[in-house]
Chains A and B, each alone.
Chain A
Amino acid sequence: MDLLREALVWLADGGNWAGPTGITARLGEHLMVTAIVVALACLLAMPIGVWAGHRGRGGDLIVGIAGAARALPTLGLLTLAALALGIGLVAPVVALVVLAIPPVLNAAYSGIATVQPSVTGAARAVGMSSRQVLAQVQLPLATPVLLGGVRSATLQVIATATLAAYTSNTGLGRYIFAGLKANDYPLLIAGSLLVVVVALVVDALFAVAQRFSVRHR
């Protein structure tokens, strides 16, 4: 695997980690974009999903919207956003938020809605208000599911943020596009490896967090 070795050599070269287009900077951009996107998606989708789950209505609508949004082609959203908003971070962030919303929305709704009615009923029976039921019973019980939704959204964004480099000067995808354009396979493979490692590490962190949340609920 000559190409893989060349890619590893490139990664091992400290010079490639420094500077404004170095690996450290690109990695930082990638993680920052991911964090912003996931935070925005949670801010937008979580309240809606939780509310719908709590009231037990709008479920079909939410599942329907989430399903339809899943079919939205990433590349199309990115180019559309770029045509409307120009270069810079705003266009890819907007496009990626649209992609990150369905898993969060779905998880928020189903996490709350699937809490056993006998449990919520018991909570009400001991005199809890609707708000208390939500805050002290449903939300804690739904935490692992909510985390699962955030986890899938995050992983999706990490992988998809590579495409953002098509319209914006940002993230690890830059190495993939630069390698593609210049026929530089080691660069391309190195860029891909970095994305894979980031995704696996973040996934592992989520797995730990999820386990923790199950144990302590």
Chain B
Amino acid sequence: MKQRMTFGAVAAVATLTLAACGSSDTIDADPSADNTAGTGGGSEELVIGSQDYYSSEIIAEIYAQALEAEDYSVQREYRIGQREIYVGEIEDGSIDLFPEYTGPLLQFWEPDTEARLMDDVYDALVTAAPQGVSILDQSPATDQDSYVVTQEFADEYDLTTIADLANVTQDITLGANSELESRPNGPDGLKEYYGVDVGFTPIEDGGGPLTVKALQDGDIQLAVIYTADPSIDTNNLVTLEDPEGLFLASHVVPVASERVDADAQAIINSISAAMTPEILRELNARSVTDQSPAATIAADWLADTGMVS
């Protein structure tokens, strides 16, 4: 967030002579501006956000419906990009509730963290959270990056862990979102911790259908796909074990502002407790295979569990 700046003059917009010379802190979400609202009109609305990721939207929608059932009024701000874009709005309180993932969020705030296991990561995250942002209970449900290969590729070279990639005699190309190339758990991490050399191809769909297709077509041999992604099962992909802990444990964790009161926190915590890894994968599968909207998936699940009738 260091790079963000606010510049003073709103110079004549239409002439592009946007005299830019500036200083200070952030591009930042002016909470009174449209779209980031929540403070408007003195309402008690809680602003619930989600990542630009369908699974995150489903979880956010579950929060929203559960709170609405208890007469909270909520405003939905879903699909708002990646962490780099929305964290500023969580930090300044223009978003009140956001489903996050423990490992990646900790790494965002503390890139050099040594924590790897579920509870260490959670404790470190609670400590790392800035003033005014509270980390609610983490869920057993997990959705983390993992290295996957096709079943045939795994069989051919007898792969079970990432370290086994050293046995592979052909060139390996890794496909993943472009930011992985420079991250510590990308090609550099594979080299450092497992002694495996890989090439890199960016594919910007977050381990989505294009990545899977590239794996199956043999354009790439190794990909990063979320563990809760139903395509791992449906496409018969093999997740390689990660004994060195390249990827941090990554459990679903709600991040809340001070405006989320104790009752609301209790509701959200009960949702987190009820959600298991299997459930999360089923919810995601409904989104991808049944193509249902998040609202339907969330309502069905809340009804099934009896949390909202």
Contacts and interface: CB of A to CB of B under 8 A. Distances in A.
Given A1-B20, A1-B21, A167-B210, A182 B182 contact: yes
Which secondary structure characterizes the binding site on chain A? helix
Given A1-B21, A86-B219, A181-B84, A174 B201 contact: no
Nearest to B3: A185
Contacts of B177: 181
B160 interface: no
A4 B149 CA distance: 41
A203 interface: no
Interface residues of B, number: 27
Contacts, number: 60
A177 interface: yes
B197 to A, nearest CB: 15
B179 interface: yes
A181 B201 CA distance: 15
Interface string B135-177: 0000000000000000000000000000000000000000101
Contacts of A116: none
B82 interface: yes
Nearest to B214: A87
Given A87-B213, A174-B178, A183 B3 contact: yes
Interface size range on A against B: 20 to 34
A165 B205 CA distance: 11
B219 A82 contact: no
B201 A83 contact: no
Interface in B1-36: 1, 3-5, 20-22
A182 B4 CA distance: 12
B210 A169 contact: no
B203 A87 contact: yes
A60 interface: no
Interface of A: 1-4, 82-83, 86-88, 165-167, 169, 174, 177-178, 180-186
18 contacts: A2-B22, A3-B5, A86-B210, A86-B214, A87-B175, A87-B201, A165-B204, A167-B203, A169-B203, A177-B204, A178-B178, A178-B179, A181-B82, A181-B179, A181-B204, A182-B182, A183-B1, A184-B3
